[in-house]
């Protein structure tokens, strides 16, 4: 079993930055593909970024490419999402997710474990 706890959300003005963290407990974090998804009010949950077990492969939604960076520290069992140049449309609850396999995925349905989410809100 894997438990995921997100942190780092908050209020931010357009153009600002935030770094989200996802701390994982349980087994085999370093062998799991990880992802970040987000859900805006009234919308479906959507893919934002994913990373493979080693960090060697990363994937981004077109809407965040060039502004967001996903990374991981396997020694700390933590995955990060650095968000720069934030836009009002980035307002959402951000969820961390883990897979049972080493590769990250852009598909929500391919993740097995989910955190409770952290809110990111545009304060402009």
How is the beta sheet containing 18-26 ordered, strand by strand? 2-7, 18-26, 78-83, 68-73
- Residue pLDDT, tens place only, 75-94: 999 999 999 999 999 999 99
pLDDT digits (tens, 9 = 90+) for 50-72: 999 998 999 999 999 999 999 99
Say how far apart CA 26 and CA 7 lie, in whole Å: 18
The pLDDT, as a whole number, for residue 73 is 96
**Closest by CA position to 6, among listed 24, 18, 29:** 24
Average pLDDT over residues 6-21: 96
**For residue 23, pLDDT beyond 90:** yes
């Amino acid at each position: 079993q894997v438990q995921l706890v997100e942190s780092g959300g908050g209020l931010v003005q357009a153009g600002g930055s935030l770094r989200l963290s996802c701390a994982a407990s349980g087994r085999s974090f370093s062998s799991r593909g990880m992802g970040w998804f987000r859900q805006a009010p009234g919308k479906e949950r959507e893919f934002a970024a994913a990373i493979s077990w080693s960090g060697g492969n990363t994937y981004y939604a077109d809407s965040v490419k060039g502004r967001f960076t996903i990374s991981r520290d396997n020694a700390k069992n933590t995955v990060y999402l650095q968000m720069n140049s934030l836009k009002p449309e980035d307002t959402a609850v951000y969820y961390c997710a883990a897979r049972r396999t080493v590769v990250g995925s852009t598909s929500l349905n391919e993740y097995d474990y989910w955190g409770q989410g952290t809110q990111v809100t545009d304060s402009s």
